[in-house]
Structure 1
């Protein structure tokens, strides 16, 4: 049953990641990967929120592992960072690493704080 919950969450997270990435990136005329950055920060916020809620294995399987796991993308982040560096945009590559790590951690912390505020 757990594998089906993960698959269901992933079936929603993966297309949303693609659509959100394309939506955001289309609005920026820059080499910086804003779309990937945005989905990774949003996914970190969502996972932080879920992690701070009372544990429910089914919700974590579907929403945490499946949805957030496919919404966020470490492989694309790595690829885009390497591509920026190889293309000579070393500042943008470094900015992507620093901003993504800091904003991802910050998103997780904010998600946890939001869950605690909502649940009292």
Structure 2
């Protein structure tokens, strides 16, 4: 199968489960954000991998309270069937104050199976 090239899409064209997660995470709504993930999903953020719903819930809770920041969804790509990248611009009281992060999603059965967050 040939390699597919990333396709730029409008941020509002991301699958509903991704926008639900991003909106809930922005609103610090841990229950709704967690509901977007498979029970055995993995999240890798800041070099640490969190596997399964309890670990992801702990990560979401910590991430919501650690710093105060705003996010803006600035770009999106479809990189393969059921694989998407969303770029978010964050500004806040964390070290450096601003950063653009790439949220790399792999979906399965309409839920997030893996999420990797990196600059």
Q: Which has the higher strand share?
A: 2
Q: Which has the higher helix share?
A: 1
Give TM class, smaller chain. under 0.3
Rg larger for? 1
TM-score scaled by length of structure 1: 0.25
TM-score scaled by length of structure 2: 0.25
